[in-house]
Each structure stands twice: as structure tokens, then as C-alpha cells.
Amino acid sequence: MELMVLLNALVTRLLFVLHSLIGVWRVTAVKKEPKYWLLALLNLLLCLETGLTLKFKQGRGYKWFSPAIFLYLICIVPSLWLLEIHHGTQYCGNEPGAVQVNVSNQDFNQSRESSHGSEGTDHHIIQTAKVFVNQLSTICETVWTLALHQTFLLLLVVGRWLLPIGVEITRDQLSQLLLMFVGTAADILEFASETLDIEDVRKNYALINAILAVWTWSMLQFPLDLAVQHIGCKPSASARRIPSLLLCRYSAELWNIGVSLFIQDGPFFIVRSILMGHFRIFNQMLVFFTAKNILVVTLQLYRLAVISLDFRSTVLQKSRKGEVCCCPCEPYEAHAHATGRQENEMKEFVAFPPKEESQAPSEDH
């Protein structure tokens, strides 16, 4: 097992565990009930996954799915749910925040001076840590919740980057996936912050639960890598099935369209339409992002129509020429394989030339 692969696998999962523990700590501090520390037991699943991955996969990832990302979602999402439901019970102002920052600097200076005069460096570090933790506890609850949302989405992208990739996914595919995740994370953060900050939404617990459910549903696309990978298929098994051929050839693009329609932009558009149509909630940003969702959904449907027409024309063209319609998932590899096979046949032909049939002696001779 390579040292860097092992280090990346362990460091990334350690970051996941630390971030989820911070979320559990915030829930316990907000609810003021120690029983919520039981949420930290969810990290045992991530520890178990780490051991199994190191043993059976040598620290590398799996094809199409990332168990570490999925288990990290299981560890952190319940804490964010509880914080969002408990949201709004503490007033946040700009001036108190500035006062807290100044007081924290004074406390740091006082602790540094006292540690210099009396006790050693260890006491100074302990006092500084206590002051830092106390000041973190006094930060406004809404600021904490938003910071956890932001660091959560950033850690998803960075963690997916740091996690060792498997042999089935290339560096080029990983870079495409990370760029998609950056845009997806920005849209999800905007959806959660923009809709949950509306006062009329905060007064309706059913709406809060519905928005959080859609937000959780949109997070399920992060453990999956199907948006940049083609699904392998056997030409003999799928030669007579048009849907199988379509899925085989355009699997990555179809998955991308499906994610946009059914996991992200489609559900976001439905929620925002309900807010404006049924609850009569209107603001400039809500209208803008609703129009943006409509545009994205329309473009994805247009893309799906273009793919279908292109595939239909390809099938008709091959059928007119009398060719067998096989699965063109990897056209370059198939062409290379066919070319290699032709070269091998040519070498065999040159090495073993066909024997000429001996002519029967004529009667004249």
C-alpha cells in the first residue's frame, strides 16, 4: 500500500469525523441536553468503513460510489437538521459581534501576560484554548449554523479531491466531477440559506421540514460518480434493445440530466413555486432563482431531445447500411481493439502464407 494513499485516506476521514463532532457539539450547546452527544456514535460507521477500505481496497475508492462521502452525510446531516429547526431563537446583531471580537482579543492578551509572569508555556496554551472555546460558544447561533453549512459543502468537495481514486476513474474524470461539485454546492447552499431565512417560512414548521427534506435529497448526488463515467455493456446482450443502447452510449450525460431534473433543479423549482404560488411569498432573489431553475430544466429537456434525435439518426443510418448496431460506449477503445485485431490477422497471414494447391500432372507429361 502506498504511503500517500494511506495518508490521504486517513486524513480525509479524520476531517469528516472532526467536522461532524463539531456539529454534534453545537447541537448539544444549543439544546442544552447531553443526550445529543449520542449522535457522535454515528461516526463509528465511518471508522468501520475506514478499516474495511484499508483492508480490502488498500485505501482506494470504489467505482461509481464513495462510501466515505455517504457515511459523512449520515454523520453531519442530523446535526444540521436539529440546528435549522432550532434556528432563530437567538438574536444576531452586528454590534454585539464586534464587541465579542474585541473582548476575545483582550482576553487573549491577558491570558498571554498572566502565563508569562507566573507559569510556563503549557499553562499559556491551556488558558488560550479555554478563552478560544468560550468565545466560540458566544458566537451567534445563526452564524454557527451558516458556517457549518458552508464548511460542510466545502469539505465535501475538498474531501472528494483528497480521497484516493480507484482504478476505474481517471484524473480527467475526477477533475470534471470536482468542477461539477463546486457549482452544485453553491446552488445547494443558496437554496438552503435563501429559503430558510424567510420569516414566513420560519413560522411554518411543515415548510421547514419540507425544505430540509429536499435539501437532504439533493445531497445524495455527492457520493455518486456516474456523471463522468460510462456504464460498460456487452454488445451481444444489448444489440437488440434500443433503451439499453441509448443508456450505454450516453450514460454519463443521461445521469447528469437525471440529477438536474429529479434531484436538484427540478425539486428546487417545485419548492420555490409552492412558496410563491401557494404561500404568496415573493422577493427578488426568490423570483430570480425560480427563473434560473426553469431555464436549467428547459435546457436539460432540450439536451435530452437532442441526444434522442442524434441516437435515432445513428441507428437508422446503420440499419440502412446493413450494419449491426452495437454499443458504442467507448468508440476509441473499440476502434483500437478492432485495429489491433486486424493487425494480428495480417501478421498471421504474412507469417503463414496460404499454400498453393498443387496442380495435377497432365496426361501429356
Whether residue 339 is contained in a domain is answered as: no
Mean pLDDT of 25-40: 92
* pLDDT at position 348 over 70: no
In terms of domains, do 71 and 41 share one? yes
In terms of domains, do 153 and 169 share one? yes
In terms of domains, do 267 and 215 share one? no
* pLDDT at position 95 over 80: no
Whether residue 302 is contained in a domain is answered as: yes
In terms of domains, do 201 and 237 share one? no
Amino acid at 76: I
Tell me the backbone φ, ψ of residue 94, rounded to 5 degrees: -75, -40
In terms of domains, do 75 and 215 share one? yes
Q: What is the pLDDT of residue 267?
A: 96
Mean pLDDT of 299-315: 90
Whether residue 55 is contained in a domain is answered as: yes
Q: What is the pLDDT of residue 25?
A: 92
Measured at the CA of 97, the angle between CA 91 and CA 101, to 5 degrees, comes to 150
In terms of domains, do 268 and 167 share one? no
Domain end position, chosen among 207, 226, 245:
226
* pLDDT at position 305 over 50: yes
Quote the CA–CA distance of 232 and 168 in Å, as a whole number.
11
* pLDDT at position 90 over 90: no
Label residue 13 by pLDDT band (50, 70, 90): very high
Label residue 100 by pLDDT band (50, 70, 90): very low
Whether residue 347 is contained in a domain is answered as: no
* 3-state secondary structure (DSSP) of residue 207: helix
Q: What is the pLDDT of residue 246?
A: 77
Whether residue 129 is contained in a domain is answered as: no
Quote the CA–CA distance of 297 and 264 in Å, as a whole number.
10
In terms of domains, do 82 and 15 share one? yes
In terms of domains, do 82 and 5 share one? yes
More confident residue, 61 or 183: 183
Whether residue 171 is contained in a domain is answered as: yes
More confident residue, 120 or 198: 198
In terms of domains, do 204 and 81 share one? yes
Domain end position, chosen among 203, 226, 249:
226
In terms of domains, do 212 and 242 share one? no
Whether residue 120 is contained in a domain is answered as: no
- Per residue in 73-82, pLDDT tens? 999 999 999 9
Mean pLDDT of the chain: 78
Which parts of the chain fold into alpha helices (H)?
A: 3-31, 43-56, 67-85, 94-117, 121-137, 141-162, 171-196, 199-202, 205-219, 235-238, 242-249, 251-262, 265-277, 284-321, 331-351
Whether residue 109 is contained in a domain is answered as: no
CA distances from 126 to 29, 129, 133, 153, 283 (A): 21, 5, 11, 31, 48
Domain that holds residue 306: 229-320
- Per residue in 211-249, pLDDT tens? 999 999 999 999 987 766 666 555 554 445 667 777 777
In terms of domains, do 73 and 202 share one? yes
Percent of residues, the chain, with pLDDT higher than 70: 70
Mean pLDDT of 347-354: 46
In terms of domains, do 233 and 290 share one? yes
Q: What is the pLDDT of residue 225?
A: 77
Q: What is the pLDDT of residue 24?
A: 95
Q: In the chain, how many domains are there?
A: 2
Domain end position, chosen among 171, 202, 226:
226
Q: What is the pLDDT of residue 228?
A: 63
Label residue 143 by pLDDT band (50, 70, 90): confident
Label residue 104 by pLDDT band (50, 70, 90): very low
- Per residue in 145-196, pLDDT tens? 999 999 999 999 999 999 887 666 778 888 888 999 999 999 999 999 889 9
* pLDDT at position 31 over 80: yes
